[in-house]
């Protein structure tokens, strides 16, 4: 990844914030979110959901956006969108997000958030938009045209973060260019019109990225991702048909044996054990035994979460209430911020 320097800086800054959070939780507002394109999987769970719950329990203001307008950045349909949104809310709650503490809402229900897009777009140049390497990578991976919305969605993400004056954003490394764009937008707005927005920092996790079952990046489109919402049987089936290699003896070697190592890391994170130790224990037991171990580890860990999930799914009225309540709260905050923005810009008539 280019720009290692800025990664190092972001990592150090993020460690300082982690320490300060313990002392001054009230100084922080978290905003993060997900694109509702399908079910959340183990990568989301260990990569960010656990961290969100941890921040929620510290008394930091926590906000989660279900980024429904981001779905159409690189696809031509909103098929299944409502189903995906509701299931995302169910996943959050099952994993420990508490709607009494964390505001959960969607883009499309908060007009004032979206209106920030107009002044914000005036603060970036086309060249800056074109330079964002995550957008470039996403466009290439999608095989879709570079839509105006895909090109400008990092600016829209700045609206997501800044409408509630978020100052910490737990993200993966790929989102760092977006955080940089958000900082720049906030700085330029404040310079031009007076201080309205805070300085934003990404909160990087020190836990290594969990690869998919085949050792590649975990992604639904690769068929290597275990969804939180899968049943035990679906989980077993997916693990069973995942690739291994021809060597019987199980060893942990992410470089040369990505498939076997992906399985070992999954088992390791679910059991809290060291993948090397699991490998040594299985040894000549081979891939069959390893896969049985991984299946038990995943299904064991997620049993209580999946049980809660099933209970929650029985009461869709409650799930809708959670979202309606979050949307109402988000609207009140967004209208207040938009009011400050229009005042700062002299657009109060």
Q: Which residues bind ligand TRP (CB under 6 A)?
A: 31-35, 65, 67, 70, 157, 160-161, 169, 171
Q: Which of 3, 19, 4, 36 is nearest to 203 (CA)?
A: 19
Taking the least distance from each CB to ligand TRP, the nearer of 34 and 180 is 34
Cβ at position 201, least distance to ligand TRP in Å: 12
Cβ at position 256, least distance to ligand TRP in Å: 30
Q: How far apart are CA 87 and CA 69, in angstroms?
A: 17
Taking the least distance from each CB to ligand TRP, the nearer of 66 and 267 is 66
Bridge partners of 103, per DSSP, are 63
Taking the least distance from each CB to ligand TRP, the nearer of 169 and 278 is 169
Cβ at position 18, least distance to ligand TRP in Å: 18
Cβ at position 59, least distance to ligand TRP in Å: 21
- Return all residues near 172 (Cβ < 8 A) that are at least 6 apart: 47, 48, 204, 209
Strand locations in 42-116 (E): 61-66, 102-106
Taking the least distance from each CB to ligand TRP, the nearer of 35 and 39 is 35
Taking the least distance from each CB to ligand TRP, the nearer of 161 and 297 is 161
Q: Is the dihedral of CA 189, 193, 196, 198 positive or negative?
A: positive
Taking the least distance from each CB to ligand TRP, the nearer of 65 and 213 is 65
229, 87 Cβ separation under 8 angstroms = yes
Q: Which residue is nearest to ligand TRP (CB)?
A: 67
Q: Residue 200, exposed/middle/buried by CB under 10 A (0-12, 13-18, 19+)?
A: buried
Cβ at position 36, least distance to ligand TRP in Å: 10
Q: What is the DSSP string of 117-140?
A: HHHHHTTS-HHHHHH-HHHHHHHH
Sheet holding 168-170, edge to edge: 102-106, 61-66, 29-34, 168-170, 201-203
Could you give the dihedral angle defined by the CA atoms of residues 275, 280, 284 and 286, in that order, rounded to the nearest 10 degrees?
-10
């Amino acid at each position: 990844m280019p720009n290692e320097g800025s990664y190092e800086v972001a990592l150090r800054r993020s460690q300082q914030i982690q320490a300060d959070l313990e002392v001054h939780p009230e100084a922080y507002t978290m905003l993060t979110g997900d694109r509702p394109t399908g079910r959340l999987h183990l990568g989301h769970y260990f990569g960010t959901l656990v961290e969100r719950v941890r921040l929620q329990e510290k008394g930091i203001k926590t906000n989660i956006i279900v980024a429904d307008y981001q779905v159409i950045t690189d696809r031509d349909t909103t098929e299944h969108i409502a189903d995906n949104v509701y299931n995302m809310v169910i996943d959050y709650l099952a994993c420990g997000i508490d709607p009494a503490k964390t505001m959960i809402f969607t883009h499309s229900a908060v007009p004032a958030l979206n209106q920030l897009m107009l002044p914000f777009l005036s603060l970036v140049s086309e060249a800056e938009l074109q330079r964002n390497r995550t957008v470039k990578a996403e466009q290439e991976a999608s095989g879709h045209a570079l839509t105006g919305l895909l090109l400008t969605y990092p600016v829209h993400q700045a609206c997501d973060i800044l409408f509630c004056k978020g100052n910490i954003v737990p993200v993966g490394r790929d989102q760092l260019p977006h955080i940089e764009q958000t900082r720049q937008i906030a700085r330029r707005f404040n310079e031009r019109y007076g201080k309205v927005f805070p300085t934003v920092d990404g909160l990087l996790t020190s836990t290594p990225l969990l690869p998919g079952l085949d050792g590649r990046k975990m992604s639904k489109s690769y068929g290597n991702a275990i969804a939180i919402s899968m049943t035990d049987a679906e989980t077993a089936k997916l693990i069973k048909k995942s690739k291994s290699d021809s060597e019987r003896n199980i060893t942990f070697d992410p470089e040369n044996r990505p498939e076997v190592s992906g399985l070992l890391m999954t088992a390791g994170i679910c059991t809290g054990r060291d993948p090397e130790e699991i490998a040594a224990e299985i040894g000549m037991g081979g891939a069959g035994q390893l896969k049985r171990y991984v299946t038990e580890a995943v299904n064991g860990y997620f049993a209580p979460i999946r049980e809660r999930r099933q209970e929650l799914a029985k009461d869709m009225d409650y799930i809708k209430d959670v979202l309606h309540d979050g949307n109402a709260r988000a609207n009140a905050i967004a209208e207040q911020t938009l009011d400050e923005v229009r005042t700062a810009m002299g657009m109060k008539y």
